[in-house]
Amino acid sequence: MSTNRLYLAIGEEAVRGVKESGAVGFIPLLNPAIPKMEFDDRRRKEFRGEEAAKGDTAVVRMGQRWSASIETPFYTEAGSSAGLVGTVLKHFFGKCDSAQNGATGQYYHMMSPAVDPFSEANLGNKGLTLNLNLNEGALMKNWPYAGGRVKSIAFEQEAGSALKLSVELSGQKRNDTENEIGGAEFAAEPLRCDYKSLKIYTGPVTRTGTAPAFTGFSFEGATRVKPDKVSIKMENGMEDAMRLSGVDYPDRTRVGQYKVTAEMTIDWEDPASGFSSAAEFRSWLASPESSSLFLHWDTGTQAGTGANHALFIDLPRLQRIGGEPEYRLDKEPMITLKYEGLYSAGAGYMAGVMLVNTASAV
């Protein structure tokens, strides 16, 4: 078998489009994730005294951009530059409030959608570089894709599996091939989020701190939910635009409206206590009232004294959008409950994500 090697290193650019291949975080991949280059190549259609019947004679490149889809098992930190996992999430939301817990020592990074993500107080003009290191024959090379923007993120958790994070990006250009970055190192296995470390709640959640920059959560009055699988997708409506600005790639990102969708597949039942999928379905039939979900992955690995590496996803207000029970002769009935996010004035967001780890900044 020939050489077959590939790994990803992500860098945060101080100025969008100026690649970052030095300070990088290494993230394992579940798919090759090689970005797709999109060139605006146009056949020249001009009268130049040539015999048109013989065919076109030239092609002119008028623009370029790239797009990428990353799938990775979710760890609370990246290898080398630990904060880069949080950096990717920050570039989706547009802002992050980071601080250290003075009592227990761990750092928390609270993220929620920013109205103006590219203001100087938020991302400014920063971007992401995807450094795809792969073999060209026997030699390893780095393909830097610069000027990245995060358009959507999705979390998928199934029983028996690790949490999967999917990231959709768009970007400006691919830089020239370089020598391999090398020294690839990845987060330790105890920092992986998986199904054993997940608890899901619905109902009242206590949020500590000032909205939306909360510093902690508790669930004493909430109800546990135990589905077979759950998925959450968040989109920010970002679109890259080319302008008359002297470059042949997009140099302006316009933000649309945030959108959140969630689904969970669960037993079709109506127990005397605890979460009832039948009651949730009946509520949808009766009115367009909202529900809520809160997901908490606790890795069990300390990030500070008495506090663990963790991921929190807060969906404070969800509109039920259906999902009928599924009956089969050979299995007990199930139902896939479906939701769309609504803005919560109390929480200050439609979706909030908190990452707890040892990185002082993301």
Q: How far is CA 247 from CA 98, 251, 252, in A?
A: 35, 8, 11
CA torsion angle 118 11 313 207 (round to 10): -60
Q: What's the farthest any 2 CA atoms get from each other in the chain?
A: 85
Q: Which two tokens stand for residue 206?
A: 């206590």
Cβ atoms within 10 Å of 359's Cβ, excluding its own: 23
Identify whether the C-beta of residue 83 lies closer than 8 Å to the C-beta of residue 362: yes
In contact, 335 and 265? CB cutoff 8 Å: yes
Per-residue pLDDT of the chain (362 residues; tens, 9 = 90+): 578 999 999 999 999 999 999 999 999 999 999 999 999 999 999 999 999 999 999 999 999 999 999 999 999 999 999 999 999 999 999 999 999 988 889 999 999 999 999 999 999 999 999 999 999 999 999 999 999 999 999 999 999 999 999 999 999 999 999 999 999 999 999 999 999 999 999 999 999 999 999 999 999 999 999 999 999 999 999 999 999 999 999 999 999 999 999 999 999 999 999 999 999 999 999 888 789 999 999 999 999 888 899 999 999 999 999 889 999 999 999 999 999 999 999 999 999 999 999 999 99
User: Amino acid identity, residue 230?
Assistant: V
> Encoding tokens for residue 277?
């999928």
Q: How far apart, in whole angstroms, are the C-alpha atoms of residue 27 and residue 7?
A: 8
For residue 107, what are the CA distances in angstroms to 82, 98, 101, 187, 259?
12, 7, 6, 17, 28
Q: Where are the domains of the chain?
A: 6-35+65-122+140-357
CA distance 138 to 8: 18
**Cβ atoms within 10 A of the Cβ of 29, count?**
15
Cα 96 from Cα 78, distance rounded (Å): 17
Residue of 347, 345, 358, 257 whose CA lies nearest to 294:
347
How far is 297 from 354, CA to CA, in rounded Å? 11
| CA distances for 168 relative to 66, 84, 265, angstroms | 11, 16, 24
The DSSP H or E segment spanning 37 is strand 36-43
